[in-house]
Structure formats: C-alpha cells, structure tokens
Amino acid sequence: MSNNTCGLESREALIEEIRRLKKEKGAVVLAHYYTDGDVQDLADIIGDSLALAQKAAKLGPEVRTVVMCGVHFMGETVKVLCPEKTVLMPDLSAGCSLADSCPAEDFKAFIEAHPGYTVISYVNTSLGVKALSDVLVTSGNARKVVNSFPKDEKIIFGPDRNLGAYLNSELGRDMLLWDGACHVHERFSAEGIRALKADHPDAPVLVHPECKRPVVLLADKVGSTAALLDFARTSEARKFIVATESGILHEMRKACPEKEFIAAPPSTGEGGEGAPGCGCNDCAYMKLNTLKALRDCLRDGRPEIKVDPELAKGALRSIDRMLALS
C-alpha cells in the first residue's frame, strides 16, 4: 500500500485519475505481483511472468494500448508478442539485475565455446539473449520445458545459476549454468529463516527458485510467484514464511485475509556485492512503477517500449516455443 500522499498529490486523487484515464484511452494495464499493491489493484491483469506473457499474447485487436507495470524485459516481451500495439511502461529505467548479469555479447561467446548445446534461457533476459536462445522458460514452466528435452541433451541454461541448480537437482540434469543471479533473491538468509521457523514451526516456507541453495533446502514449496500464491490459497496452514519479493504479500493477504504471511528476512549487510537496493525484500526496479508514474504514462502516452525488429524476430521464436510447450 502506498502512502496517502505521492508528492503533492493524494493517493486517492491519483487512483481516481488513473481509473478515468484507463477508460478514456481504452488502455489495458498489466501488473506483476511485485509491483506496489495499489498498482496491482488498478491493473486489468495481474500475474507472474508466464501468465502476463500468455495473456498479452491473447489480447484482441480492439486493444490498442497496453501499459506494462513491471520491469523492462516484461515490457519487451509484450511488445514482441503484440508488435501492432503501443506498449507503454511507467518507467523505462525499471531494469532487472538478473537480466543485467547476462550481457548478450558475453552469452554469445559462451554459447560459441560450447558447440552442440541447446540453449534454454529464463525470461529475465534482454531481447539479445532471447534471440540467442532456442527456448525460454519462466519459473512457472521451467520443469516442463526442460523435461521436454531428452535426458542426454547437452543444455546451456542461463542466466540464473540458482534456478539452474535447482532444476539440475530436481530433474537429474547436468545443464551448464551461466553465472547470473537476482540481487533481491540472493539476499534471503537461511539462518534468518531457520530462526523464524523456530518461532513459527507450523508455518510452511514458500521460496522462489531464484533463491540460493541453502534457502531452497528449507522450503516446503518452491515455485513461481503464482505457484506460491496458489499454495497459500489451498494449504490448510494458517501462517506462511515467504521468501520472495515483498509485493507478492499484497495479493496473498488479499486472497487469504484470515491467514498470516511473514516476510523471510534478508541477510543484514549482504545485498550481494555491489547490489542495488535497500537491503530489504523489495525489488527497487519494480517499485519504480509508482501511482504517479502510471498516471503520467497514461496521460502522456509515454514512455513507449521500442524494440529492434531483428532482435524481436529472434526473440519471438524462443518465446513462441516456450508458450507452445507451456
């Protein structure tokens, strides 16, 4: 939930204006579960990376403008899937540390050094990396996509070393991993979660697979944001310890008002070397999608996502292949 004032403008006034502008412009607003709770509540579609891509791909021709409240690679994916639509983002500088950990030219050299390998990449990547990949995955469909390849297939998996290691151990694979990571998920402290668990022994631990191995080993459920939400909805438990970005707590609390959700603690002073952010569970990039930025974006029709047509063509191939396998 935002503060009651956003600069000089009240939260309520901004919400009202956003509702009016959405109608006036016929814009569809998509939001990821990590955005601010108010932004999620204003969205027409909320979801994990997979659902957002799937739903964007199904938007009809009557929708001319889409506003993606998320991070840059999500906006790019929507633009690649809907090239005829105007795709806006409240703040184009909403990047992703995981995508940044895999520059396309370095990844290309890595692939060239390993001929004969199939390349599977997580969607948290630039269009350049997507265009170099045979198929993409999200945390929601990674098992299914990887399992669609024979057990002896030689596979490069990029860029998340944690998701890759999790898949290797779960699926009995030996994929070659790119050494990238998300600064938010790498921060969670296994020691801190163990301490919380001692105080709340009945609370299942919900973990996103971008977390490090010691944290994943404490999990009762490992999954995408949507899978963790689903687990919370259907579980008999009354309390949960949640090791992923804080934005998901909004939807969890909304969906299960009678249940308690406890944010897993980040390691103090261990944001990961040089990691941007606050040392909390927030993705600073996701939080750039403020109410004011969303209002300005709807009002002014910018900033708009533009993609290089050649890269978009290459990326579409790997995105489409993923959607067909999902």
Chain residues in the site for ligand SF4 (CB under 6 A): 71, 96-98, 124, 182, 184-185, 210, 245, 283, 285-286
Shortest Å distance, C-beta 152 to ligand SF4: 30
**Residue 165 and residue 142 in contact, taking contact as beta carbons nearer than 8 Å:** no
Work out which of 77, 139, 189, 290 binds ligand 13P, going by CB under 6 A. Answer: 139
Contact partner, 285, from ligand 13P, ligand SF4, none, Cβ < 5-8 Å per class = ligand SF4
Q: Which among 206, 264, 204 has a CA at the least distance from the CA of 238?
A: 204
Q: What do you get for the CA distance between the two ends of the chain, in Å?
A: 33
Stretch that binds ligand 13P, among 15-23, 60-68, 138-146, 231-239 (CB under 6 A): 138-146
Nearer Cβ to ligand SF4, position 197 or 212?
Answer: 212
C-beta separation of 208 from 224 below 8 A: yes
Backbone angles phi, psi at 44, to 5 degrees: -80, -30
Nearest to 307 by CA among 30, 133, 76: 76
Interacting residues with ligand 13P between 114 and 133 (CB under 6 A):
124
Residue 162 near which of ligand 13P, ligand SF4, none (CB within 5-8 Å, type-dependent):
none
Min CB(95)–ligand SF4 separation in Å = 8
Binding to ligand 13P, residues 43-62 (CB under 6 A): 48-49
182 binds ligand 13P (CB under 6 A): yes
Residues 245 and 266 sit within 8 Å (Cβ to Cβ): no
User: Sign of torsion, CA 26 297 44 311?
Assistant: positive
Q: How far is the CB of 36 from ligand 13P (least distance, A)?
A: 15
Outline where 175-224 has alpha helix (H).
Answer: 190-199, 213-216
Residue nearer to ligand SF4 on the CB measure, 38 or 245: 245
Residue 97 interaction partner, one of ligand 13P, ligand SF4, none, beta carbon < 5-8 Å per kind: ligand SF4
CA separation, residue 226 to residues 59, 98, 264 (Å): 20, 19, 18
At 142, list the tokens. Answer: 């990674």
**Interacting residues toward ligand 13P by CB under 6 A:** 48-49, 124, 138-140, 182, 210, 224-225
